[in-house]
Amino acid sequence: MNTSRKTRLIQSASIAAIMLLTSAPAYAQAAAPEADDADNGEIIVTAQRRSENVMKVPVSVTVVSADALQKNGINDLASVTKLAPSLQAGQDNSFSIRGVGTASFANTVESSVTQMVDDVVLGSRNFAANGFYDIERVEVLNGPQGLLFGKNASAGVINITSTRPKLGENTVSFDSELTSRYRSGKDGLGAQLRATANLAIGENTALRVNGLYSHQDSVTRYVKTGPGRTESDNEQIAVRAKLLTEITPDVQLYLIGDYSKKTGTTGSYSYTYRALGTGSQYGALLTGAGVTPGPRNLDAAVNAPFYRDLKTGGVQGKLTWALANGWEISNITAWKTFSISQTFDSDHTPANYFDSNGGTNKFNQFSNELRLALPSSNALSGQVGLFYYHSSDVFAGGRGGNNGFPSFLLPNFPFCVGATTLGAPPAACPVSNVSFLGQDCAGKISNESLAAFGQFTYQVSDQLKLIAGGRYTHDKASLDLTENTRNYFVTLGVKNNRYSGTTTADNFSWKVGFDYQPSAETLIYGFYGHGYKGPGFSNAAPAPNVSLAVRPEISKGGEIGIKQSLLDNRVNLSIAGFYTRFENLQVQAFDSALRTVVLGNAGKSTTKGIDISASARVADGLTLSASASIIDAKYNSYPGRQCYPGQVSASCTATGTFDASGLQIPLAAKFTSVIGASYERPISDSLKLTADLSYYHRSKLLVDYAPGSTIPGWDTIGASFGFKGANWNAAVFCKNCFNEMRPISIETEPGDGLIGVTTYIQRWNFDSVRTIGLRFGFGF
């Protein structure tokens, strides 16, 4: 059966499953599998920055509850994609929603998909690397959400809420997970331990303390390593403390402090060779090391240090004052920080072609948000607020190697790598070069954002509400960058480049819509508006003395949808159609002439499609769910896309670019679906049997435009079976049960690209392979 026919059949089956759910005799919440914990079928979300039933919120949102996270073994943000069809994970903790994101490893631009944790916007994708612990729910808000969610949410928001301290309760809970994960040779092992203590301090105060320890063997197997520090296995230690106190019946203070330390490169730099192009430099080397390139290759060989140390932390406080007239004033102040030190062997071979690629970052952000919320029961409700954000990132980095040249030639003229005697050429070297190929940088980027916003809902009648809102934003970004001050035989980029610049932007984004409820069980809604993502900079100069500023990203579009509850909330269905046009989409591409990656603006792009989700409690203890996302995301105009290594065309030869207008946007799967079933059956007064099953399908996923840079379609099964007591639970489970191996990225290898050969490397994460495990938890 050809791939397109198979995909059409899977699409038809997935949509048929959704429609079957909506016609069955009894059902539940239209959300992610097992998102429904409440007996009445309601799920409370904060998709509009206030607590509401998800079926009453006029926006497309996928909700993943704490129970769903546990039963499906979702331990980090990347794994949430298996329950949220509109969300896709890319490399370096980047994400796309409805086909739009910012696939960039540069720290000089923020993501189009904003991550929020406990009401605080996180200004860097590096925070997404942390594991989950004590999470109450994850909300994936589809489409532009910048009006109420801080900044830079032009493609959507991932809104994470941890569990608040519970007043008057003294409880302790613990859960553990032991896993065996497929890899070549001997399977890798994993262990995760999480603990929580909730302590009542008097009647009006509670302290909640969480701890996490995780050790996960590398997905890839290193058949050869070199001297120096080599750490591929991941280890994380994290703690979080939360204090909630009711100062008075109307005034509440909520404080959070957290710290995490994570080491290891797997999931971030788990590269292997997928396919060698004709004439590749690496064939004999890889064969000699015992590495066989291929789509299922998990073996790698290196000869240089590779490690990654990430520390994150912060403190935040929220003060809430409920006024006598029902209005509420809140203020959230937060400071967040991270530091990274990392390096890896860029050529992924046991020879020095491009052995070093690393750097350091020290990031700090401060934010404050003041908000006034009107009572939701009033004819006129809504909220207004002021927002301030400032971040700075001090960074340094370098990469390079000796291009596979014999060591006895390198110190001599003209290469002069490590030359010890300097003099007049050709008898001697005029300078001593650090390496044959190389690049270095150092600098600081700062971002400052000021905004005033408001969104209001006016109840015209018992059934109809009108919605309008706006946000004025002033952004200022500054970059101080020094590049390539060290000596190389071949400099990757612009030699001795110095850039110091500031870019500013002012924007008014807005939204108008309606909320029509012809009955208590039906919501019909629609909206149109303009979104915004602030400016940034390219992390490398394309030429001397040019501006590196990247213009703001603007979105224009809307959504129309229906949410329907049936049979006393036992059946819930949600359908949303969307259309969004983006201008100046911020994108990253490899510049083959400079042999480095640069960031710039695409012209225009459009994403359109349909989100469908349904769930149903078909019988006591049995819940079925299904969801799907159908997306058409393309560049309308993008004439200056950088050519990939080895691309042959007249424009690539002349300018190093080609016209990508009309092509699909990377990280935009055309069809993704999830089908799930969850079953609980009492077998005694104090014991229940539990069983869960999920099926995930994704059509092929474009990573780049090189012919082999498309990840094939993916079909995976997840399952668990266990028992639940009054204060304990245990289960055996598998994820990707039949080991349908898929990388998270396929890229052209730049070293071979320099000689006109198209070779492909692939990057893996924990969801790429089969995992089998045992889960146990208890509480008292």
Q: What is the pLDDT of residues 508-535, one digit of tens each?
A: 999 999 999 999 899 999 999 998 888 8
Q: What is the pLDDT of residues 154-207, one digit of tens each?
A: 788 889 999 999 999 999 999 999 999 999 989 999 999 999 999 999 999 999
Using a 10 angstrom Cβ sphere, with 0-12 exposed, 13-18 middle and 19 or more buried, the burial of residue 461 is exposed
Q: Are 609 and 672 in contact (CB under 8 A)?
A: no
Q: What is the pLDDT of residues 646-693, one digit of tens each?
A: 788 888 878 778 888 999 988 889 999 999 999 999 999 899 999 999
CA distance 407 to 430: 19
Give the whole-number percent of the chain exceeding pLDDT 90.
63
Q: Which residues, 6+ apart, have CB-to-CB distance to 199 below 8 Å?
A: 170, 206, 207, 208, 209
599 pLDDT more than 60 = yes
Q: Is the Cα torsion angle 124, 125, 130, 131 positive or negative in sign? A: positive
256 pLDDT more than 90 = yes
Q: Give the model's confidence band at 597: pLDDT under 50 very low, under 70 low, under 90 confident, else very high.
A: low
DSSP strand pairing (299-301 vs 221-224): parallel
Q: Which residue in 49, 85, 78, 88 sits closest to 574, CA to CA?
A: 85
CA distance 658 to 693: 45
Q: For the chain, what is the mean pLDDT? A: 88
CA distance 564 to 626: 15
CA distance 777 to 176: 6
CA distance 496 to 419: 21
3 pLDDT more than 50 = no
CA distance 759 to 281: 10
The residue type found at 259 is Y
The predicted pLDDT at position 7 comes to 47
Q: Which residue in 773, 776, 765, 757 sits closest to 264, CA to CA?
A: 765
CA distance 102 to 125: 10
CA distance 450 to 473: 6
Q: Which residues, 6+ apart, have CB-to-CB distance to 636 below 8 Å?
A: 581, 603, 604, 605, 606, 661, 662
Helix boundaries (H) for 216-297: 283-289
Distance of CA 710 to the CA centre of its chain: 19
What would you report as the CA-atom Rg of the chain, rounded to the nearest whole angstrom? 26
Angle among Cα 267, 272, 275 to the nearest 5 degrees reads 140
User: Is 537 or 177 the better-scoring residue by pLDDT?
Assistant: 177
10 pLDDT more than 50 = no
Give the Cβ contact number of residue 336 at 10 Å: 23
CA distances (Å), 610 to each of 29, 369, 508, 630, in order? 18, 33, 27, 5
CA distance 47 to 162: 15
User: Is 439 or 584 the better-scoring residue by pLDDT?
Assistant: 439
Q: Are 64 and 160 in contact (CB under 8 A)?
A: no
The region that residue 662 occupies, defined by phi over 0 for left and psi between -120 and 50 for alpha, beta otherwise, is left
Give the Cβ contact number of residue 524 at 10 Å: 17
Instruction: Calculate mean pLDDT across residues 342-346.
Output: 92
Angle among Cα 416, 422, 428 to the nearest 5 degrees reads 65
Q: Are 629 and 694 in contact (CB under 8 A)?
A: no
The predicted pLDDT at position 595 comes to 53
Look up the pTM and report it: 0.89
Instruction: Calculate mean pLDDT across residues 72-91.
Output: 86
Q: Which residues, 6+ apart, have CB-to-CB distance to 520 below 8 Å?
A: none
CA distance 475 to 388: 10
5 pLDDT more than 70 = no
DSSP strand pairing (641-642 vs 657-658): antiparallel
Instruction: Calculate mean pLDDT across residues 386-392.
Output: 96
Structural domain boundaries of the chain? Answer: 3-779
Give the Cβ contact number of residue 211 at 10 Å: 17
Q: What is the pLDDT of residues 600-618, one digit of tens each?
A: 777 788 999 999 999 999 9
HEC letters along 392-426 = EEEEEEEEEECCCCCCCCCCCCCCCECCCCECCCC
CA torsion 425→431→434→439, rounded to 10°?
A: -100
Q: Are 445 and 363 in contact (CB under 8 A)?
A: no
Q: Please state which of the four CATH numbers 3.30.450.40, 2.40.170.20, 2.40.50.140, 2.70.70.10 is assigned to the domain occupying 3-779.
A: 2.40.170.20
The predicted pLDDT at position 247 comes to 96
Q: Which residue in 403, 399, 402, 499 sits closest to 439, CA to CA?
A: 399
Q: Which residue in 343, 347, 101, 298 sits closest to 763, CA to CA?
A: 298
Q: Are 615 and 28 in contact (CB under 8 A)?
A: yes
Angle among Cα 181, 184, 186 to the nearest 5 degrees reads 65
CA distances (Å), 421 to each of 425, 436, 578, 702, in order? 11, 17, 66, 50
Q: Which residue in 710, 674, 677 sits closest to 85, CA to CA?
A: 674
